């Protein structure tokens, strides 16, 4: 029963559409009608700029982190990584935005931050390094997922390995169109790095 309650809370936290809120409140714009139409940080950076993009990135990360920390407030012994997965599902399929959300990257990182901050730091370094080399946000997200699966082995937590592998699968699934564009040479590259 406890798992069900906290899974619902995590899903609702993940369902908070940060990009939509920032766009509508700060810019009087529905970001779903611009750029890729995606409710994620990358589209926010592209459409609304750096300030909005940073706010959305941090908010999406914190949704995942909050989902893993809420059980601690109630002193409940449950596997918090598993609960965090529901925040990612909420981010991808948000109740508050017609079930069309982001691509799971930042919120997945937030889950890891809440329990394994060292792994989160490694993920950030991997993402930035890959982005510097490739200039593709989508590719860097997928590379970070794959590297994170291998790095998680060293933490000797089978649950962590399973969850990171699952989150990486989510990221790949949500980036299928990006993969096609990378192959076709039509995926946009960043120009600021």
Nearby residues of 8 by Cβ (< 8 Å), 6 or more positions away: 86
pLDDT mean for each 10 residues of the chain (193 residues): 94 97 94 90 91 95 97 92 97 95 95 97 97 95 98 96 97 96 92 77
pLDDT at 64: 97
pTM (predicted TM-score): 0.94
pLDDT at 37: 86
Residue for token digits 């529901």?
A: 86
Residue for token digits 């394994």?
A: 116
pLDDT at 91: 97
CA distance 102 to 64: 13
pLDDT at 191: 81
């Amino acid at each position: 029963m406890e798992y069900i309650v906290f899974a619902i809370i995590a899903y609702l936290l993940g369902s908070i559409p940060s990009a939509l809120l920032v766009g509508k409140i700060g810019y009087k714009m529905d970001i779903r009608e611009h750029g890729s139409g995606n409710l994620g940080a990358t589209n926010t950076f592209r459409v609304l700029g750096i300030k909005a993009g940073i706010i959305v990135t941090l908010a999406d990360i914190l949704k995942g982190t909050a989902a893993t920390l809420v059980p601690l407030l109630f002193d409940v012994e449950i596997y918090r990584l598993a609960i965090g997965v529901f925040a990612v599902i909420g981010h991808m399929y948000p109740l508050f935005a017609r079930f069309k959300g982001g691509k799971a990257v930042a919120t997945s990182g937030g889950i890891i931050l809440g329990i394994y901050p060292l792994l989160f730091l490694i993920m950030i370094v991997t993402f930035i390094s890959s982005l510097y080399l490739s200039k593709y946000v989508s590719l860097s997200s997928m590379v970070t997922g794959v590297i994170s699966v291998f790095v998680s082995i060293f933490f000797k937590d089978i649950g962590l390995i399973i969850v990171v592998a699952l989150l990486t699968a989510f990221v790949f699934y949500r980036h299928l169109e990006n993969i096609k564009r990378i192959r076709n040479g039509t995926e946009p590259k960043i120009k600021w790095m």
